[in-house]
Structure 1
Amino acid sequence: MSAVIKTTTPFALDIVLFQALINLGHEPKNVTVKNIRDFQGINGVECGDIATNRVDYNGHQHFRKQGELWVLRHDSDQYNARVLGSKHYKKVAEFLSELEQEYVYEYEHYLAELAELEKKEIEEQRKARVEATRQQAIAKAQAQGYSVKEKHINGKVQLICVRHI
């Protein structure tokens, strides 16, 4: 038997979900061809699922991608439910509520990392444009017979072109 429990935050990004599960101590593992036998049971775990250390009557509770979202698959009766390596089992609704809060936190962290990467990329592009412009100005000046000296003033490059007659 299974149940559907809705959360207000959809679990859309696997890396964020994975990190949130790690932070909560649920030891997520990607199910692969090599380790699928570790999760066998009547729960129908498939390659590509994210298994947790939460176990119920059907076996390991796991997340499966359905469309764009990751959905928890579990036994709704929670018969024989436990967390491997721990005596503390939270009901699925409580678990998902806690996971949702951690997911939102990790998602914000993920967005901050993306923004930082984008900021670095923009800065790298700016530096490349400045260097290309500098090289172009030097080449043009030398083609016209100037000798070029460079000065760095307050983080800016100043080119001094001198022609001897």
Structure 2
Amino acid sequence: MSCLVKTTTPFISQEILLEALEKCGYNYEIKNDKIYIPSLHKYRNTYFKFVNGKYILNYDSYNTEISYFLTKVEKSYNNVYEIKLKEEAERLERERLAYIESQKKAIMEKAKAKGYRVMETKKDNKIQLTLVREVR
């Protein structure tokens, strides 16, 4: 007996899917372009296959274990995905701050070489550099 199973979360990242499977306590084997789940092989092979940009679960059985499995993996996938998004946002913020600092340093060095003094003011989360030269 075959069944069509749809999930509300598209499994688009292999890295996140594998981490979600590990967090749920499922072992997996990667063969060719499929991710096999050996603990669910009671009737036939159970695997995720990459199709049209997302991983689709291929499962052929009449038991309800698949519903529990998918709910658990889906919840874990969403948690891992949120963590990855936060890490990516933090990384981008660190890179942005490093870029701002390097630009500021380069401007200050160039200004000093030309005889200017640099005054820094912060307004509304923005940095304003003012070049000052005293003429006597």
Question: Where on the TM-score scale, by shorter chain, does this alignment land: which range?
Answer: 0.7 to 0.9
Of the three residues 47, 50, 53, the one matched with 1:68 is 53
> TM-score, normalising length from structure 1?
0.64
Of the three residues 48, 52, 57, the one matched with 2:43 is 57
What amino acid is the match of 2:44? N
- Tell me what 2:15 maps to: 15
RMSD of aligned alpha carbons: 2.9
Contact 1:20/1:102 (<8 A) preserved: yes
The alpha carbon displacement at 1:162 in A equals 8.9
The percentage of counterpart residues that share the same residue type is: 29
Per-residue CA deviations over 1:97-137 (Å, capped at 9, x if unaligned) read 11111111111111111111111111111111111111211
Poorly superposed stretches of 4+, deviation over 6 Å: 159-163
The alpha carbon displacement at 1:160 in A equals 9.4
In the superposition, relative to structure 1, how do residues 28 and 135 fare at CA in structure 2: closer, same or farther (>3 Å)?
A: farther
Structure that is richer in helix per residue = 2
Larger-Rg structure: 1
Per-residue CA deviations over 1:123-158 (Å, capped at 9, x if unaligned) read 1111111111112112222xxxx8x8x9xxxxxxxx
Paired positions, count = 125
What amino acid is the match of 1:91? E
Per-residue CA deviations over 1:8-63 (Å, capped at 9, x if unaligned) read 111112111111100011123332xxxxxxxxxxxxxxx1222223223323x211
> TM-score, normalising length from structure 2?
0.76
1:39-50 correspondence runs (5 A): 47-50=32-35
- Tell me what 2:90 maps to: 116
What amino acid is the match of 2:70? L
CA distance in structure 1 between the partners assigned to 2:133 and 2:75 by the alignment? 61
Of the three residues 86, 104, 111, the one matched with 1:137 is 111
1:22-101 correspondence runs (5 A): 22-31=22-31, 47-54=32-39, 55-59=41-45, 61-77=46-62, 91-101=65-75
CA distance in structure 2 between the partners assigned to 1:20 and 1:94 by the alignment? 14
What amino acid is the match of 2:27? E
Contact 1:57/1:75 (<8 A) preserved: yes
Uncovered stretches (5+) of structure 1, i.e. residues with no partner: 32-46, 79-89, 151-158
What amino acid is the match of 1:5? V
The alpha carbon displacement at 1:161 in A equals 7.7
